[in-house]
Amino acid sequence: MRVGTRWLASPALGFIAFMVGGPMVVIVWYSLRTRGPGGVGVGDGLTVDAYERLVVTEDFAGNVGFDSTYLEVMWSSILLAAATMLVALAVGFPTAVWISNRPRHLQPLLVLAVTIPFWTSILVRTYAWIVILRETGPLASGFDAVGIDLPRMLNTRGATLVGMVYTFLPFMVLPIYAAAERFDHRIAEAGLDLGATPAVVLRKIVWPSVRPGVVAGCLLVFIPAIGAFLQPELLGGGRSLMIANLIQQQFGASRNWPFGSALAILLLVVVTVVLVVARRAAREARVVLS
């Protein structure tokens, strides 16, 4: 049976190895090459200059020193992705638990409402937020009507955060709902009947039961958020530079493919660390439930 299962899985594994492993090998190979002549492609020589440039800078006099610019961009991307994850968790957790506590015939409709944004292109939705957040948009006009002067919102990190939370919020709600939907809410009611406060019931009964869904949701939000490109580019106006935008610049205007590949490898390393930590957290969650 095990041998048969392996044979059945081999086409999918081969497809994944080719479609994921192949480009990854190309990126690693490019990161070890010299810059191409005229800034086009890569050259023939092998070097680690692209990785050195991540932390080392050289001035016109030939003096070499530590440069944290690109690490700061990476750290800024991590912080913005973490903020997106936390805001999505703060909104998505009560939403998912509330949906799971509705009558059975209403839950599919509420889940459908959560997934409706997927029916429209992310580019269209992002441009819609540009219309909403601009100085002459409906949000500013509404506050002006009641005498409140809003600060500039478009082309800020705040606008980027709003766009990212809006984009990735369904990825937080759906896994938590899948875990909460299997939770027996009568257990929470029993805890309240025995004198526990709602906060204690939430912390000691509901939270451990839905924790695997929370871990999955945080993972599904944080990983794409750290590599987000569209929201920082359109809503941030280039003022909130993230690692994905920097990689695009290297492959585009700067024409430095080896350095762009090294930045992509740095992003891959960060995502791998996040996956390892998330796997350990998920394993601990399963242990608690058992």
> By the 8 A CB rule, do 140 and 134 touch?
yes
Residues 120-124, mean pLDDT to the nearest whole number:
89
| Residue 17 in tokens | 């190895």
| Residue 120 in tokens | 């429209």
Residue 264's SS3 state is: helix
How far apart (Å, rounded) are the C-alpha atoms in residues 288 and 125?
40
pLDDT (tens digit, 9 = 90+) per residue, 229-281? 989 988 887 667 899 999 999 988 888 899 999 999 999 999 999 888 888 87
- Say which residue, 39 or 70, is predicted with more confidence: 70
What pLDDT shows up at residue 2?
59
Strand ranges, E, within 36-175: 42-46, 56-58, 64-66
> By the 8 A CB rule, do 134 and 154 touch?
yes
What pLDDT shows up at residue 285?
61
Residue 278's SS3 state is: helix
On the question of pLDDT at 286 being above 70, the answer is no
Residue 96's SS3 state is: helix
- Say which residue, 41 or 225, is predicted with more confidence: 225
What pLDDT shows up at residue 184?
77
pLDDT (tens digit, 9 = 90+) per residue, 173-210? 999 999 988 887 788 888 888 888 888 888 888 888 88
Domain covering 70-289: architecture: Orthogonal Bundle (1.10)
What pLDDT shows up at residue 60?
67
Domain ranges of the chain: 70-289
Q: Tell which residue, 53, 30, 54, has the closest CA to residue 41.
A: 30
Residues 17-31, mean pLDDT to the nearest whole number:
90
What pLDDT shows up at residue 4?
61
What pLDDT shows up at residue 263?
93
Q: Tell which residue, 91, 84, 290, 83, has the closest CA to residue 176.
A: 91
| Global confidence as pTM | 0.86
Q: Tell which residue, 250, 243, 249, has the closest CA to residue 266.
A: 243
- Say which residue, 125 or 207, is predicted with more confidence: 125
How far apart (Å, rounded) are the C-alpha atoms in residues 31 and 48?
8
Residue identified by tokens 């506590």 is: 101
> By the 8 A CB rule, do 32 and 47 touch?
yes
Residues 72-77, mean pLDDT to the nearest whole number:
92
What pLDDT shows up at residue 194?
83
On the question of pLDDT at 62 being above 80, the answer is no
- Say which residue, 288 or 260, is predicted with more confidence: 260
What pLDDT shows up at residue 76?
92
Q: What is the share, in percent, of the chain residues with pLDDT greater than 70?
A: 93
On the question of pLDDT at 133 being above 90, the answer is no
What pLDDT shows up at residue 274?
87
What pLDDT shows up at residue 83?
95
- Axis-axis angle for helices 157-180, 69-100 (nearest 10): 40
Band of pLDDT at residue 290, cut at 50, 70 and 90:
low
Q: What is the share, in percent, of the chain residues with pLDDT greater than 90?
A: 35
What pLDDT shows up at residue 90?
95
What pLDDT shows up at residue 3?
59
| Residue 254 in tokens | 């700067």
